[in-house]
Amino acid sequence: MNNILEKIEPVSLTRPEDQIIVQIRQLIRSGELMPGDRLPSERHLAEKFGLGRGYVRRALQKLDFYGIIRTHHQSGSYVSDMGLTILDGLLSNILTLDDADMVALLESRILIEVETAGLAAARMTPAAFIRLRDAFDTYAAKIHQQHDAMEEDVLFHIRIAECAGNPVLRTMIMILAQDIIKKTRAIDGCEGDRKQQALREHTNILVAIEAGLVQEAKEAMRIHLQHTRTFPSP
């Protein structure tokens, strides 16, 4: 483990969490880190990177989110047991996704989420719908209080994927949503009446899914995401 720490250099560039990911990719490429290896502790990594632990934590959370590492609260973080080529490709994708423009992200959402809404209407179970309704209620409460509701918005969409019963779709929506939240906040794209309009659109989606109306659910989601192309949702 000390050998790994010796390979790490202090970070001084912008987006430090991504620079941490770049160095971890280099360690994997060089063979210093192999699938199944345990990463040094968050504290030791922060010291070697010359950064606060918050940056290291965000980098590790991002790697965990994309399945590149597995984090166990008792024993620490480990490189996932997959081939080096796949790991390197996933790491490259993480870094290039940050540069994807909003239009590309929203186009991808439309392709995926319209069909997901239809599947949710067809496959929804009572337990899954309760979680969807809870997510909607939390989102609506934030909107009524004039608070930022982007994360609650994303959770609503994730719950729709859970209603569809497809964990792959759920993961894809989570990946896209993470970048959309970041870019929406960066351009301050939730002003004016868009929040209330988005709430009405979410209501239409919810009603169609609850009624089991496949085509209506797909159309309601299509309308919502087409509006989101112009006015990123709250």
Non-local CB neighbours of 79 within 8 Å, separated by 6+ positions: 28, 33, 34, 35, 36, 37, 39, 68, 69, 87
Residue 137: predicted pLDDT: 97
**Is the distance from CB of 91 to CB of 24 less than 8 angstroms?**
yes
One pLDDT digit (tens) per residue for the chain, 234 residues = 667 777 676 654 457 888 888 899 888 888 888 999 999 999 999 999 998 998 898 888 888 877 788 888 778 899 988 877 878 787 877 776 655 566 777 788 889 999 999 999 999 999 999 999 999 999 999 999 988 888 898 899 999 999 999 988 888 888 777 666 656 655 444 555 778 899 999 999 999 999 999 999 999 999 998 887 654 444
d(CA 141, CA 128) in angstroms, rounded, equals 20
Paired strand residues for 71: 77
Q: Does domain 102-230 have CATH number 1.10.1040.10?
A: no
Domain boundaries along the sequence of the chain: 2-97, 102-230
CATH architecture of 2-97: Orthogonal Bundle (1.10)
Element (H, E) at 124: none
Helices (H), 66-193: 84-97, 102-123, 126-144, 150-164, 167-187
Residue 233: predicted pLDDT: 44
Tokens representing 195 are: 């929040």
Residue 159: predicted pLDDT: 95
d(CA 145, CA 224) in angstroms, rounded, equals 21
